[in-house]
Amino acid sequence: MGGIYTLGLSEGTMITNNVIHNAYDFANGSPGIYNDEGSSGITMRDNLIYDVSWAYNENHGRNNTLENNIFAFCSELGVRHPLPETGVSLNFNHNIVYGTGTPLLVENSATM
């Protein structure tokens, strides 16, 4: 489901200083970091994610923070934010998203 997969409330969790690459699931895609089904309160900082299906996916989360990450050369998408919760869902600060020929940000898409 991803290089790093989280599920549920995780207040105070830090995901930092990782290098994630070459993660592919050809049937469903595979993100570098996948915050699934209410993963909330997580800070993801100083990660390098490249050559994956997509860099980041958040599904029904709150108060997550992505900052100072590099996301590059994703085959399908850069950052995917399909089903945000009400209120502050994702703080996206000082990241680099780089690619050619693929969308860099997809929001509010109910498809997986």
- Provide the residue ranges of all domains of the chain, joining segments of one domain with +: 4-107
Higher pLDDT, 8 or 28: 8
Query: Which residue in 48, 34, 43, 46 sits closest to 80, CA to CA?
Result: 34
102 to 10, 16, 44, 48, 55: CA distances (angstroms): 31, 26, 23, 18, 12
- Predicted TM-score (pTM) of the model is 0.84
pLDDT bin (cut points 50, 70, 90) of residue 74 is: confident
Asked whether the predicted pLDDT for residue 111 surpasses 80, the reply is no
pLDDT of res. 109 = 47
Q: What is the pLDDT of residue 110?
A: 42
> Which DSSP category does 11 fall into?
T
